[in-house]
Amino acid sequence: MAVFRSVFDIIGPVMVGPSSSHTAGAVRIGLAARSIFGEQPEEVDITLFGSFGHTYRGHGTDLALIGGLLGRSTDSEEIRHAHELAEKEGLKVNIKVSDRNVDHPNTAHVLMYSGDRSMSMTACSVGGGMINITQVDGFNVRVSFDNPTVLIFYRDRTGMIARVTRILADHTINVSSMQVSRKELGSTALMTIATDGVIPAAVMDEIRSIKELGPIISLSELMREPDHAANDVPGE
Amino acid sequence: MKLYPKNFSTAVHNCNLSGISLSRYFLDIEIVLNETTEDEILRQMEKNLSVMEKAAAKGIAGVTSFSGLTGGDAKRLAAFRATGSPFGDSLYLEAMIQSLAVNEVNAAMGVICATPTAGSSGVLPGALLTMRDKLNLDRRAQLNFLITAGGTGALIGNQASISGAEGGCQAEVGSASAMTAAALVEAAGGSPSQSAHALAIALKNLLGLSCDPVASLVEVPCIKRNAVGVVNAIAAAEMALAGIESRIPVDEVIQAMGSIGRMMPMALRETALGGLAQTPTACRMTAMLQQEGHIPWPFPAAGRNED
């Protein structure tokens, strides 16, 4: 069950209709995917599951996902022309519907490519425009956005987690939940850290200074202020 | 972890202890819980309010939905009002026009502010935009209206649900109507306790309401239910302001809504597998929309999950 902690969870988001779960949530999934990829991909394969697959045209779910991938916020009226927009802005979109059973009825899988880079993300829309991310680049995660969240890729080796959490502790930043996953021993691993309060930029820089860390993705601004989310994409 | 107040009676108790309004109470919580400032909250609320105003104006001018199924009813009702209703003019009529207008804009993929959801986004603006002149609410008082509605809405969400897929339409239009009633009472000078009774009365009146939209689109019967939601909110606020009390305490009413939602069959929770959505006419409409390519075949599929 969702937990409401703000008047803006109820009064908002500002969005294009018609459905907070099938439209606004879908824009946020697209925005999250863009943030995680770090830039706008050249091509994207979108797979829709469950209710997303059945009702996407009536709700404009496809338009909303593409709009998010193009960096548009939940309230952008350009979303209804997202297919034309994608063509103009150089994003090739492939959409398919899958009958496969998934945990949540409103699930989308997004596979992004640019040149020889590719990355995938799976997310579901859980109501009122809120989303959960369940998979990033093959790692199972559970990002619910109840708290500010950062994703940190790193080389799996002893002491890495302690080095990151030490920095947070030194700055009295409380970790509300943390998850570590890896594909195999010694390969790339992923830390998902949710904190009480946003991690200040100076602290983020200190974490970035750890040499063995890979890309760090901050998802803290994604939920409440749609227009900030679009500006939060690294490399823009 | 810092937490939101557990229930409405805690909120009323704390307001009475400190002698403050519900809007002041929720504003203070917002500042502490989300590490923000009063100015920042008001700035963002102002943005939401101006979205509501624009949506209402657009809807009254007339829009058509994405599927072509709905639209133009706000305009129709405004014209009817202009020529004089046989029942006489009323603020209820004005509120219905505004509510229909906002929700028609939602169905047309226009910009709205979810309150608490997109499907129920007409209820609150209908009440606020109608009553602000009558009550001489300045801009700040209008923002307070939104804060009280937001805070009380969160109390509903945390004790029950605001999602049609979870709890049916009672959780969407029911919640919208209830939180609007609570905010109307404060705006009209009522006490926090009267707000609680207004919320309880409004929610009780819509308990059990199913979410059975035709073709799973947020149009039929959602749009007209927004008009009923606002009328119900004003009626509940008037009863509470008159000193009428809900016999069942507010938090028990909210929890009853959550409990009814959990008992509700999946077919009546935003799946289009039951109720109005499966009437012969709805099935014909759905088939027509499929032929026109608005929804992919087959729909609704057997064994579909909720929402």
**pLDDT tens figures, B88-101:** 999 999 999 999 99
Q: What is the pLDDT of residue A99?
A: 86
Q: Please tell me the predicted confidence (pLDDT) of residue A233.
A: 34
Flag whether residue A98 sits within 8 Å of chain B, measured between CB atoms: no
Q: Residue B10 is inside which H or E element, if any?
A: helix B8-18
Please tell me whether residue A159 adopts helix, strand or coil conformation. Answer: coil
- Asked whether residue B263 carries a pLDDT value surpassing 70, the answer given is yes
CATH hierarchy code of domain A15-143: 3.30.1330.90
Q: What is the assigned CATH class of domain A146-218?
A: alpha beta
Counting one residue from chain A and one from chain B, the pairs whose CB atoms sit within 8 A come to: 190
Whether residues A18 and B307 touch (CB distance < 8 A) is answered with no
Q: What percent of chain B has pLDDT over 90?
A: 85
Per-residue model confidence (pLDDT) at position B224: 98
pLDDT at residue B216, as a whole number: 84
Paired residues of A16 in beta bridges: B111
- A:33-62 residues touching chain B, CB 8 A cutoff: 50-51, 53-60
The ipTM estimated for the assembled molecules is: 0.94
Do residues B115 and B154 touch, judged by C-beta distance below 8 A? no
Look at residue A234 in the predicted model and tell me its pLDDT: 34
**Among A97, A93, A94, residue whose Cα is nearest residue A70:** A93
Of A4, A18, A77, the CB nearest to B157: A4
> What is the rounded CA–CA span in Å between residue B147 and residue A207?
37
Answer whether B230's CB lies under 8 Å from B96's CB. yes
Is B201:B244 a contact under the CB 8 Å cutoff?
yes
Q: Is A14 exposed, middle or buried (0-12, 13-18, 19+ CB in 10 A)?
A: buried
Look at B165 and A18 and tell me if their CB atoms are within 8 Å. Answer: no
> Distance between CA A98 and CA A21 in Å, rounded?
19
CA-based end-to-end distance of chain B: 30
Q: Which residues of chain A have pLDDT under 70?
A: 1-2, 220-236
Nearest-angstrom CA–CA distance, A225 and A14? 9
A13 touches chain B (CB under 8 A): yes
Nearest in space to B151 (alpha carbons), one of B20, B265, B305, B285: B20
For residue A23 the two structure tokens come to 């439209």
Query: Rounded to whole angstroms, how far apart are CA atoms B159 and A149?
Result: 26
CB nearest A16 (choices: B110, B124, B163): B110
Q: Which tokens in the block code for residue B112?
A: 């709205």
Q: Which of residues 133-172 of A touch B (CB under 8 A)?
A: none
CATH 3.30.1330.90-classified regions of chain A: 15-143
- The neighbour count for residue B251, using CB atoms within 10 Å, is 22
Residue B237 in contact with partner chain A when CB distance is under 8 A:
no
pLDDT of residue A222: 66
pLDDT digits (tens, 9 = 90+) for B212-243: 999 888 999 999 999 999 999 999 999 999 99
Instruction: Pick from A7, A59, A104 the residue to mutate for testing the B interface (most B CBs within 10 Å).
Output: A7
The topology under which CATH files domain B20-291 is: 2-methylcitrate dehydratase PrpD (1.10.4100)
Chain B positions in Cβ-Cβ contact with residue A15 (cut-off 8 Å): 111-114, 118
Quick one: which of B119, B72, B120, B68 has its CA closest to B295?
Answer: B68
pLDDT at A235: 32
pLDDT digits over B43-82, tens only? 999 999 999 999 999 999 999 997 889 999 999 999 999 9
Q: For residues A184 and B198, what is the distance between their CA atoms, to the nearest angstrom?
A: 58
Instruction: Bin A59: left if φ > 0, else alpha if -120 < ψ < 50, else beta.
Output: alpha
DSSP reduced 3-state for A217: strand
CATH 3.30.70.260 placement within chain A: 146-218
Residue-level pLDDT at B66: 77
Instruction: Answer whether B151 sits within 8 Å of A7, measured CB to CB.
Output: yes
**Interface contact flag, A4 B118, Cβ < 8 Å:** no
Is some CB atom of chain B closer than 8 A to the CB atom of A196?
yes
CB B48 to CB A197 under 8 A?
no
Are residues A59 and B65, on separate chains, in Cβ contact within 8 Å? no
